[in-house]
């Protein structure tokens, strides 16, 4: 277990591998741990970092910072303390919104963003998550029987402070995510599960109005955790994105996701 102090509060993180750095940011339901299979897969070519947001996993509980500005500042300070330069961000749910906000507010930190299960509007956040009231295991309460259970999610889900989920959901719902995407100066790849009951995937009309730097892919037959549900396919896509960024003419698009590329 590794940790450092940011703004007088402990931030837990883990790191695997050697090579070019990249950072994984978790979502509302879980912690850094569900990134482990992906981190291991990329460890031969990348130094993969993953942290716990405040109120999640083993990081401190800091209620005054459970919003997009608070988490964005947490990540920026984390990178600064470790002396990590510009790097790719792979975010899921809350983590994808933080990654995009970081790219806007701290462009010196972000090379590209893979945004997984990103709610483009507040209406894209499923009712089970948007109405979660806190005070209980968020993953158990929100996921219930809606999706397949994963040990990587369940092991640490009970550590999550309910208020961190409630307040950050509201913060993301109030943010104009569409504006972040329309104004993006870095490559952004949106990845969603077609059957996700937690965050609704973007529709084609909405995706068509995004920046030329932004592309959208939907995994058929996948719910909220594509990195766990179809790990091999997800890792192939991530490697291509890290290699080619938004040079889609050079990217060897696989038949399984070609139809979703714009």
- Each domain of the chain, given as residue ranges in start order, spans 2-258
Give yes or no for a contact between 9 and 60, defined as CB atoms under 8 angstroms apart: yes
pLDDT recorded at residue 224: 95
pLDDT confidence band for 110 (50 / 70 / 90): very high
DSSP annotation of 161? -
Q: Which among 9, 146, 1, 139 has a CA at the least distance from the CA of 81?
A: 9
Higher pLDDT, 96 or 182: 96
Q: Are strands 87-92 and 46-51 parallel, antiparallel or unpaired?
A: unpaired
pLDDT recorded at residue 60: 97
3 state DSSP class of 31: coil
Q: Residue 202 corresponds to which tokens in the numbers above?
A: 């973007």
* Sign (positive or negative) of CA dihedral 195, 198, 203, 207: negative
Instruction: Return the biggest CA–CA distance within the chain.
Output: 49
Give the helix/strand (H/E) hosting 19.
none
Residue tagged 């984390």 (tokens)? 78
Which pLDDT tens digit goes with each residue over 26-54?
A: 999 999 999 999 999 999 999 999 999 99
Please report, in angstroms and rounded to a whole number, the separation of the first and last CA atoms in the chain: 41
Average pLDDT over every residue of 70-81: 97
Neighbours of 148 (CB within 10 A): 12
Q: Quote the CA–CA distance of 168 and 156 in Å, as a whole number.
A: 19
Q: Are strands 46-51 and 9-16 parallel, antiparallel or unpaired?
A: antiparallel
Q: Is 10 exposed, middle or buried (0-12, 13-18, 19+ CB in 10 A)?
A: middle
CATH of domain 2-258: 3.40.50.1820
Whether residue 259 has pLDDT greater than 80: no
Average pLDDT over every residue of 214-243: 93
Q: Which among 95, 103, 44 has a CA at the least distance from the CA of 239?
A: 44
Q: Which among 80, 29, 36 has a CA at the least distance from the CA of 223?
A: 29
């Amino acid at each position: 277990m590794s940790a450092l102090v940011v703004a007088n509060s402990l931030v837990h993180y883990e790191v695997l591998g050697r090579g070019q750095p990249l950072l994984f940011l978790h979502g509302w339901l879980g912690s850094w741990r569900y990134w482990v299979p992906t981190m291991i897969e990329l460890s031969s070519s990348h130094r993969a970092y993953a942290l716990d947001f405040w109120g999640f996993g083993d990081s401190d509980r800091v209620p005054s910072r459970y919003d997009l500005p608070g988490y964005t500042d947490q990540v920026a300070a984390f990178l600064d303390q470790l002396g990590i330069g510009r790097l790719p961000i792979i975010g899921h749910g809350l983590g994808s919104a933080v990654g995009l906000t970081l790219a806007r507010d701290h462009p010196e930190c972000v090379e590209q963003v893979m945004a997984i299960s990103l709610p483009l509007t507040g209406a894209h956040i499923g009712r089970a998550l948007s109405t979660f009231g806190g005070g209980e295991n968020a993953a158990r309460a929100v996921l219930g029987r809606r999706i397949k259970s994963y040990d990587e999610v369940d092991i640490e889900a009970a550590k999550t402070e309910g208020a961190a989920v409630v307040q950050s959901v509201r913060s993301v719902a109030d943010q104009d995510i569409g504006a972040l995407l329309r104004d993006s100066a870095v490559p952004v790849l949106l990845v969603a599960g077609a059957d996700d009951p937690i965050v609704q995937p973007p529709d084609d009309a909405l995706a068509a109005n995004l920046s030329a730097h932004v592309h959208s892919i939907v995994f058929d037959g996948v719910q909220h955790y594509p990195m766990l549900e179809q790990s091999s396919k997800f890792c192939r896509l991530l490697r291509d994105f890290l290699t080619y960024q938004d040079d889609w003419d050079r990217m060897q698009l696989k038949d399984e996701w070609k139809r979703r590329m714009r």
